[in-house]
Amino acid sequence: MSTPEQIAEWRAKRYNGTVIHLRRPNPELMILRVRPDFPVPPHQPGQYCSLGLGYWEPRYPGCQEEDLAEGDESRLILRAYSISHPMLIDGQLPPPQNEWLEFYIVLVKFASDGGKAPGLTPRLFMLKEGERLKVGEKITGSFTLEGVQPTDTVLFLSTGTGEAPHNYMLWELLRRGHQGRILGACCVRYQRDLGYLATHRHLESMFPNYTYLTLTTREATSDGRKVYIQDLITSGQLEERLGLPLDPKTTHVFLCGNPKMIGVPTVDRETGERTYPQPTGVIEILEGRGFRCDDPRAKVRGNIHYEKYW
Ligand SMILES: Cc1cc2nc3c(=O)[nH]c(=O)nc-3n(C[C@H](O)[C@H](O)[C@H](O)COP(=O)(O)OP(=O)(O)OC[C@H]3O[C@@H](n4cnc5c(N)ncnc54)[C@H](O)[C@@H]3O)c2cc1C
């Protein structure tokens, strides 16, 4: 059992960032801004860094019981987080700044596979403004706007907090005066899980080339059916709202969040044969229509880009 003095020492030694803003759209969702003690390194919209807290920190009530081994208590838990972005401040697209980073995080109370208790989010959800945490010094990732031309159609398809990197890329496109159509669609359980909804609605009214669609899987829809991102594409609704056919030559698709929505294929290196996972994900549907996903191992950039959260 650690003493308050030990904990104070671990925090002073290991933490290098301060929570300067925290908003909870609902008790299990947070948008937080963190100011690192070091200058924010140059990076691109869409990339990620890590956040961390010590196992010694308190945990949010009602989460899966944790079984710590001897010595764990002094260790740090680090996880990857995409960098989000406030798309509007006082009704305007905010100018670039390099003092803080915004994150959009959901509380994971239980491991979905019945495995080890979630380590970090039950602790992150105890944080208050002014408190300290660990911020990774490195910002990295290939989920970026590289290759997107000013007149291209851009689709941002996500589940839950998978919207985070899309928010940053959307801000960047709007700031650059992107001329092509931009459509964002996010699938969540309940409407209350859409932490940036009001901002997206405001942006739609400011930018005629931007459309934001929401899908809720646990709330009654008009026909009582669950609609996922995959259904949005196969039903033709996405193209209808876009007002354009999905043309692989002029469209970039960004997918982020739940790996089932994304559906990354495995590729046989010798034969090139692609095997898609079940249930059918967005990549399989779009590759059937002439798109091709990035292949980081072969260093090939396609027109479907993805970031899996687990
Ligand atoms: C590149 C990258 C960027 C990421 N960016 C974000 C982000 O911006 N916002 C965010 O909320 N998460 C993000 N994640 C997920 C994040 O790293 C953690 O896995 C997550 O916050 C859970 O951490 P944990 O320690 O509480 O639980 P862990 O011990 O890490 O995970 C326990 C289990 O929780 C499940 N899980 C993980 N993430 C989620 C989720 N979002 N929703 C439902 N179940 C989940 C998985 O089944 C996982 O095996 C990102 C992951 C990666 C790889």
**CB of 53 sitting under 6 A from ligand 1:** no
Q: In the chain, what are the domain boundaries?
A: 4-135, 153-308
Q: Give dist(CA 179, CA 246) in Å, integer.
A: 17
What is the reported pTM? 0.97
Query: Is 3.30.365.10 the CATH number for 4-135?
Result: no
Query: What's the CA-to-centroid distance between 286 and ligand 1, angstroms?
Result: 25
- Helix (H) or strand (E) holding 206, with range, is helix 197-206
CB atoms within 10 A of CB 277: 15
Which residues, 6 or more positions from 180, have their beta carbon under 8 angstroms from its beta carbon? 149, 150, 151, 152, 153, 154, 209, 250
What per-residue confidence (pLDDT) applies to 222?
A: 52
* Ligand 1 atom at shortest distance from the alpha carbon of 307: 1
The residue contributing the CA closest to ligand 1 atom 5 is 81
Q: Is the CB of 105 under 6 A from ligand 1?
A: yes
What is the three-state SS of 222-261? CCCCCCCHHHHHHCCHHHHHHCCCCCCCCEEEEEEECHHH
| Closest atom of ligand 1 relative to the 164 alpha carbon | 8
pLDDT over 90 percentage in the chain: 91
4-135 against 153-308: fold identical: no
The maximal CA–CA distance of the chain, rounded, in angstroms, is 63
Architecture of domain 153-308: 3-Layer(aba) Sandwich (3.40)
Q: Any idea what DSSP says for residue 41?
A: P
Tokens (6 digits) for 279: 């249930």
**pLDDT digits 0-9 by tens, 199-242:** 999 999 999 999 999 999 988 665 667 889 999 999 999 999 99
Q: Which atom of ligand 1 is nearest to the CA of 309?
A: 51
Q: How much distance in Å is there from the Cα of 178 to the middle of ligand 1?
A: 31
As a whole number of angstroms, the distance between CA 21 and CA 33 comes to 5
Instruction: State the virtual CA torsion across 259, 264, 265, 267 in degrees, nearest 10.
Output: -130
Cα–Cα distance between 198 and 185 in angstroms, integer?
Answer: 14
Ligand 1 within 6 A of CB of 161: yes
CA-closest candidate to residue 228, choices 269, 187, 199:
187
Model confidence pLDDT, tens digit, residues 84-121: 999 999 999 999 999 999 999 999 999 987 789 999 99
Is the Cβ–Cβ distance between 221 and 227 less than 8 Å?
yes
Give CA–CA dist 52/106, Å, rounded: 15
| Ligand 1 center from residue 213 Cα (angstroms) | 23
Identify the residue whose C-alpha is closest to ligand 1 atom 15: 309
Tens digit of pLDDT per residue, the chain (310 long)?
789 999 999 999 999 999 999 999 999 999 999 999 999 999 999 999 999 999 999 999 999 999 999 889 999 999 999 999 999 999 999 999 999 999 999 999 999 877 899 999 999 999 999 999 999 999 999 999 999 999 999 999 999 999 999 999 999 999 999 999 999 999 999 999 999 999 999 999 999 999 999 999 988 665 667 889 999 999 999 999 999 999 999 999 999 999 999 999 999 989 989 999 999 999 999 999 999 999 988 788 999 999 999 9
Cα angle, residue 162 at apex, residues 190 and 112 outer, rounded to 5°? 70
Residue 79 Cβ < 6 Å to ligand 1: yes
304-308 β-sheet, strand order: 210-216, 182-188, 153-159, 251-257, 304-308
Cα of 84 vs centre of ligand 1, distance in Å, is: 15
Answer yes or no: is the C-beta of 164 below 6 A from any ligand 1 atom: yes
